[in-house]
Amino acid sequence: MNMLINVPETVVADALRGIAAAHPSLTVDVENRVVVRRDAPVAGQVGLVSGGGSGHEPLHAGFVGPGMLSAACPGEVFTSPVPDQMVRAAAAVDGGAGVLFVVKNYTGDVLNFDMAAELAEDEGVVIAKVLVDDDVAVNDSLYTAGRRGTGATLFVEKIAGAAAAEGAPLERVEAIARQVNASARSFGVALTACTTPAKGSPTFELPPGELELGVGIHGEPGRERRAMMTSREIADYAVQVVLDELRPTSPVLLLVNGMGATPLLELYGFNAEVHRVLAERGVPVARTLVGNYVTSLDMAGCSVTLCQVDEELLRLWDAPVDTPALRWGR
Amino acid sequence: MLDAAFMCRWMSVTAAAVDREAARLTDLDSAIGDADHGANLRRGFTTVTEVLTKETPDTPGAVLALAGRQLISTVGGASGPLYGTLLRRAGKALGDATEVDRERLAEALGAGVAAVAQLGGAAAGDKTMLDALLPAVEALGASFAAAAEAADAGALATVPLRARKGRASYLGERSVGHQDPGATSAALLMGALAEAAA
């Protein structure tokens, strides 16, 4: 497998040095693996800290900046960061109004952020947490670790970040983040497996002509394997399973997300099909975002996330944001 | 009797075993998880041995507590907090004693395993590291070798189970037929304990 790396052991540190070189608006602590907006802490503003395994770029470091995250903690590839990173991040962004941890529902992320919250509170930082669990592919949540956190993470970080930028108190920012998560559902499809630098070969075998339905963002297999489908058929399937759980009664935000190796030509074509299905189902789309935002290394495939919004959430979505990967309104 | 030097030896034998078996752990993890278990544990136990070489605590309890803290700070994923908690809680349970016997270590590890179960919200049969640790700690009352054998048997017994915790749980029925990587690494830890005692 040809990869643009030096050695697997340094891929995360190398990428962080590259992020630092590209984005002077960020303070990048390569050794301790913390990416902070350069003007942090902002006095009186709630800090937003997120993090998770690397390999999902631009999530999360690409979403650090005014109007979104205050700091991000990148872990090893597909591995949760460690509590030390989150404690450092929380201390760096606490402007006296407390810090919200945005945590995707994976056991490792949950355990490490829980430990970090305890440690940070020992150091006098007030911490609130929101758990993102939007993935409808995992349906028997009573007996498992629950639904995974995937594409809705972007909506939670953007909208809660806008609320924090407006000066909302911690309880309000947390409540908005929870509302966004409760209003969002996702479904992902893999057309190829991905290859982690450490393993150097695909994480699962997917023969040509087949696809995996219901995948997460860590190269793990999905809930079902089928013969390859057309973009139209995938849109029909994915939107339907999301709508089966979401049943929106007001307009939605739509994220058509690439897993890393699917070109925009295909993603835009897929987006057209998603809009067609939503129109057929009578679901109005307020805003659409198409691109590679929550990726899975070099996996080909896509995910669909819908988030039902009211006027307040839509206003916060439209509010100015200035990060490496998401920027508008200023 | 088991002293601080014994616990250091246990950790370094574990590090060597994890290093030797890292590729196998990662292969098991790629079947039902995300293919990083071997690399993560190797990174953690390598730094544990480095730290213990630089500063060796005086008591067995302090060695395990330091090792546990180091794992939490370096491994990441779910394995970091879970293995870190196992050793830290066992270390705390040993207290300030400069020497302990096997029965005392079994009790302390029992406290560590209980803390792991609480942290992960998992129980026997969920296809996790507990399926190797629970029988091993019980057998440790009899002998080191029995504990290692019980852990191996527990890890093998995860093959037909359906995962109910962690990333493998997202596969539902498709997790059946694969040995759990966490139970496998837990068996390495118990095997290393027997090897250190031999």
Chain B nearest CA to A198, separation (Å): 7
On the question of pLDDT at B102 being above 80, the answer is yes
Give the pLDDT band of residue A144 (cuts 50, 70, 90): low
pLDDT computed for residue A202 by the predictor: 86
Contacts with B32 from chain A: Cβ below 8 Å = 220
B71: CATH? 1.25.40.340
pLDDT computed for residue A141 by the predictor: 46
Integer Cα distance of B5 and B98 in angstroms:
10
Cβ contact, residue pair A220, B26, below 8 Å = no
pTM: 0.93
Tell me, what DSSP letter sits at residue A38?
T
pLDDT computed for residue A222 by the predictor: 77
Q: What is the mean pLDDT of residues B18-42?
A: 89
Q: Which residue of B has its CA nearest to A81?
A: B76
On the question of pLDDT at A3 being above 80, the answer is yes
Cβ contact, residue pair A223, B32, below 8 Å = no
Is position A23 annotated as part of the catalytic site?
Answer: no
pLDDT computed for residue A140 by the predictor: 53
Q: What is the mean pLDDT of residues A41-58?
A: 97
Cβ contact, residue pair B36, A79, below 8 Å = yes
Which residue from B31, B24, B100, B25 is spatially nearest to B61, judged by alpha carbons?
Answer: B100
Cβ contact, residue pair B76, A82, below 8 Å = yes
Of A111, A112, A148, the CB nearest to B170: A148
Identify the residue whose tokens are 């997790």. Answer: B175
Contacts with A106 from chain B: Cβ below 8 Å = 78, 167
On the question of pLDDT at A185 being above 80, the answer is yes
Cβ contact, residue pair B34, A196, below 8 Å = yes
Structural domain tally of chain B?
1
Is position A218 annotated as part of the catalytic site?
Answer: yes
Please write the tens of the pLDDT for every residue from A274-285: 999 999 999 999
Q: Which domain holds residue B54?
A: 4-197
Chain A nearest CA to B127, separation (Å): 11
pLDDT computed for residue A143 by the predictor: 52
What is the residue-averaged pLDDT of chain B? 95
Three-state secondary-structure class, residue A32: coil
Please write the tens of the pLDDT for every residue from A223-260: 789 999 999 999 999 999 999 999 999 999 999 999 99
pLDDT computed for residue B42 by the predictor: 95
Under 8 Å between Cβ of A17 and A30: yes
pLDDT computed for residue A142 by the predictor: 47
pLDDT computed for residue B111 by the predictor: 98
pLDDT computed for residue B173 by the predictor: 84
3-state secondary structure chain B: CECHHHHHHHHHHHHHHHHHHHHHHHHHHHHHCCCCHHHHHHHHHHHHHHHHHHCCCCCHHHHHHHHHHHHHHHCCCCHHHHHHHHHHHHHHHHCCCCCECHHHHHHHHHHHHHHHHHHHCCCCCCCCCHHHHHHHHHHHCCCHHHHHHHHHHHHHCCCCCCCCCCHHHHHHHHHCCCCCHHHHHHHHHHHHHHHHHC
Chain A nearest CA to B64, separation (Å): 19
pLDDT computed for residue B180 by the predictor: 95
Give the pLDDT band of residue B161 (cuts 50, 70, 90): very high
The strand pairing partners of A99, in sequence order, are: A47, A127
